[in-house]
Structure formats: C-alpha cells, structure tokens
C-alpha cells in the first residue's frame, strides 16, 4: 500500500511520543470565574493591543506554576477578595484549568483570586501600551495632515494637467494607497482606545505600593 505523501514544507504530525494526557491538556474548555471588571478589562486590552487571543494570554499567565503557588500563599485574606465581581466565562486550555484547580485545592485559595492576581502582572504592559497609544494618536494627526496636503496637491495636478495625464494616474494610485493606510491605522488606534479608560486601582492595584 502506497504511503500518503506529506505536502512540501510541512512536517508530519507525529503522535508516537505524545501521551494521551498531554493531548487532552491542549483541549479547550470553558471556565467561569467571578472577577473584577478591571481584571476583565485588563485581559481584553492586552489581547487587543498585542494582537493575541485571550485564551493564549490566559494560558500564558497561569502556566507559571511557581508564581501561582506564590500567589496562593498570599491571597486568602486579601481585600481583593471583597471587591465587587462579575461572572465571566473564558475559553482556556484543560491544562490551565487543571493547574488552577490543583493549586486552589493545595493552598485552599479561591480560583478567582488566583486569576485576579495573575492578571495583575499585566499592569506594567498596559502602562507601556497606553504610552504607545497616546504617541500613535499624535502621529495619526500628522499622517492626516500629510494626507490632506497630498490630496490638495493632487487636485492641483488635476486642474493643471489633462485628465488622462500619466502623472495624474500615478498620483491617484499613490493617494489611494495612502488613504487606505490612513484608514487602517485609524481603525487600529480606535480599536485600542479601550485602554484610555482603564483604571488599575479598580483591580486593587496601588502604584505607590509597588515602589
């Protein structure tokens, strides 16, 4: 019987060394937590600004078992546990959920608190992305002015040259590309505007305590 060929550039997926447990750990499951709105916003903001899925971000945060154990030792009587919370369902890997439940049982620490404190590690990233966001907004203003100046020049060319002049045709192509780039940049910045209203203190994070 002829062997099935593997497409060029792709390696065959070898299951010979993959355990059933490892494969199940990669499966996606739905898990519901009660978290502060600030925590939920932080996950959405970082995922949007870094262009990654919330599942990948969630899994990355919880994957550090040593850090999770350290958090579990501290959270039992923390004031964060008394903050108002909302119920939110996430898609995460089975391995991540198992890690959370295992640490929660071992230290008698609430799952929700483990997630909340893990997400606090995103605060410095959000602060950095907020600075970039403000710089992008300023640059967008310059891009808009440049685009307007280009359109003004294009209209002048059209008024002074014949309609089918090759220079006008080339300029039309340039301006169409520039206008498309401007719209794309503008949409990206608008999508990231959720970072403007983020309040780290809503998660119980006090910058003065971090100094």
- Condensed to tens digits (0 to 9), the pLDDT of residues 146-166 reads 999 999 999 999 999 987 899
- Condensed to tens digits (0 to 9), the pLDDT of residues 97-135 reads 999 999 999 998 889 989 988 998 889 999 999 999 999
Cα three-residue angle 122-198-32, rounded to 5 degrees: 65
Beta bridge partners of 140: none
CA 148 – CA 167 distance, rounded (Å): 19
Mean pLDDT of the chain: 82
* pLDDT confidence of residue 79: 56
Lookup: tokens for 104: 């929660």
Is the pLDDT assigned to residue 9 strictly greater than 80?
no
CB 198 within 8 A of CB 129: no
Is the pLDDT assigned to residue 2 strictly greater than 80?
no
If we measure between CA atoms, which residue out of 111, 96, 86 comes closest to residue 35? 86
pTM of the predicted model as reported, rounded to 2 decimal places: 0.68
């Amino acid at each position: 019987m002829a062997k099935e060929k593997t497409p060029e550039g792709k390696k065959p997926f070898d299951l010979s060394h993959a355990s059933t447990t490892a494969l199940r750990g990669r499966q996606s499951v739905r898990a519901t937590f009660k978290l502060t709105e600030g925590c939920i916003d932080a996950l959405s903001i970082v995922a949007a600004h870094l262009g990654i899925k919330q599942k990948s971000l969630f899994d990355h945060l919880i994957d550090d078992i040593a850090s999770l154990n350290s958090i579990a030792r501290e959270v039992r009587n923390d004031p964060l546990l008394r903050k108002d919370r909302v119920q939110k369902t996430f898609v995460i890997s089975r391995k991540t959920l198992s890690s959370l439940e295992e640490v929660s049982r071992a230290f008698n620490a609430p799952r929700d608190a483990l997630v909340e404190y893990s997400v606090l590690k995103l605060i410095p990233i959000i602060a950095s992305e907020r600075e970039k966001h403000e710089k992008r907004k300023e640059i967008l203003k310059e891009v808009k002015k440049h685009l307007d100046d280009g359109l003004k020049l294009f209209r002048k060319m059209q008024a002074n040259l014949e309609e089918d002049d090759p220079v006008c045709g080339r300029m039309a192509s340039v301006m169409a590309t520039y206008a498309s780039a401007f719209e794309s940049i503008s949409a990206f910045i608008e999508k990231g505007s959720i970072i403007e209203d983020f309040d780290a203190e809503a998660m119980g994070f006090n910058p003065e305590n971090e100094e």
